[in-house]
Amino acid sequence: MRLNTIDWIAYALAIIGGLNWGLIGAFDFNLVAAIFGEMSTLSRIIYILVGLSALYLIYTGTKLGRTVHHHTDTHTNVVR
């Protein structure tokens, strides 16, 4: 499976969000707020984009789960 640009952006934002939550939980440190300001417009945009990326990944993950098929090459008996 090849990832397109939107997939890469969604994964990057989900990772940023996950790391930020890990920092909040472990050290009570919000990296996004430290860089962009506590609930500034830019922070809010980042939080919204992280949430949208999570929804996108949920959608594409369930879509992939329904469309994955194993094809067998009848000449070489190789599963692709």
pLDDT in tens, 17-41: 999 999 999 999 999 999 999 999 9
Are 56 and 10 in contact by the 8 Å Cβ rule? The answer is yes
Domain boundaries, the chain: 5-66
pLDDT in tens, 3-18: 899 999 999 999 999 9
Query: What's the predicted TM-score (pTM) here?
Result: 0.73
DSSP structure string for the chain = ----HHHHHHHHHHHHHHHHHHHHHHHS--HHHHHH-TT-HHHHHHHHHHHHHHHHHHHHHHHHHHH----EETTTTEE-
pLDDT in tens, 44-75: 999 999 999 999 999 998 876 666 555 555 55
Distance CA 57, CA 7 (A): 8
- For residue 15 the two structure tokens come to 């990772």
